[in-house]
Amino acid sequence: MDEQEDNRQQFNVRPIGIVHRPGSDAIPGLFFDPDQESMIVIDSLWESALTGIEEYSHLVVLFWLDRAERPENAPELFQPDGRDNLPSVGLFATRTPRRPNPIGMACPRLIRRDGNCLHVRGIDAWDGTPVVDIKGYAPRDDIRADAQVPKWLDRLWKTHDEERAARG
């Protein structure tokens, strides 16, 4: 592989901030309620780049799942959430953090901005997770009205909702 080809194969990503989520568990794969309020603290170097972000109700946040296990090749099929009543699928059919490139994505509600701190609800990142990018959520570009999900995912979401309601 020549140098030019090698440069297309690799690239650097640098964090722009960090997620603060008190009480989150750092065990990869463990479900925790994304509805808990969290804070995204952006490095002061990038604070001016947040100008205008408070006009959005939601954000698109990309983060690096720094504590997730990275498979070296395609792992065996598995049942999402380890639930026996769901079909076995590949990792790309799920949101598992165990990915070749552990990039997480969430579209949390922006509660408020305080300088370089974004208070959000709806991000399922661990405390201390590096943030690599933030964009305003734009329904015209981001919503896909004709999008479909597998039936097993609808069942899993329903189960999560029931479990949340049972916890109070």
Question: Is 1 part of any domain?
Answer: no
Write the pLDDT tens digit of every residue in 141-162. 999 999 999 999 999 999 988 9
Lookup result for tokens 């329904």: 139
CATH number of the domain enclosing 100: 2.40.30.70
- Under DSSP, is residue 18 helix (H, G, I), strand (E, B) or coil? strand
Distance in angstroms (rounded) separating the CA atoms of residues 58 and 18: 18
Supply angle C-alpha 103, 60, 113, rounded to 5: 120
58 inside domain: yes
pLDDT of 92: 93
Distance CA 124, CA 31 (A): 8
Average pLDDT of the residues of the chain: 88
Domain presence at residue 65? yes
Structure tokens at 83: 């639930």
How far apart are alpha carbons 71 and 73 in whole angstroms?
5
Reported confidence tier of residue 117, pLDDT bands at 50, 70, 90:
very high
Q: Are 96 and 79 in contact (CB under 8 A)?
A: no
Is the pLDDT higher at 89 or at 165? Answer: 89
SS (H, E, C) 123-147: CCCCCCCEEEEEEECCHHHHCCCCC
Q: Which residues face 46 on adjacent strands?
A: none
Q: Answer whether residue 7 is part of any domain.
A: no
4 lies in some domain: no
End-to-end alpha-carbon separation of the chain, Å? 57
Question: Does the pLDDT of residue 109 top 80, yes or no?
Answer: yes
- Cα torsion 148, 150, 153, 154: sign: positive
Residues 6+ apart with CB under 8 A from 50: 42, 113, 116, 118, 134
Range of the domain at 89: 12-167
**Count of domains forming the chain:** 1
Indicate whether 5 belongs to any domain. no
> pLDDT per residue over 41-75, tens digit each?
999 999 999 999 999 999 999 999 999 888 889 88
Structure token pair of residue 15:
């964090």
Evaluate whether residue 3 is within a structural domain: no
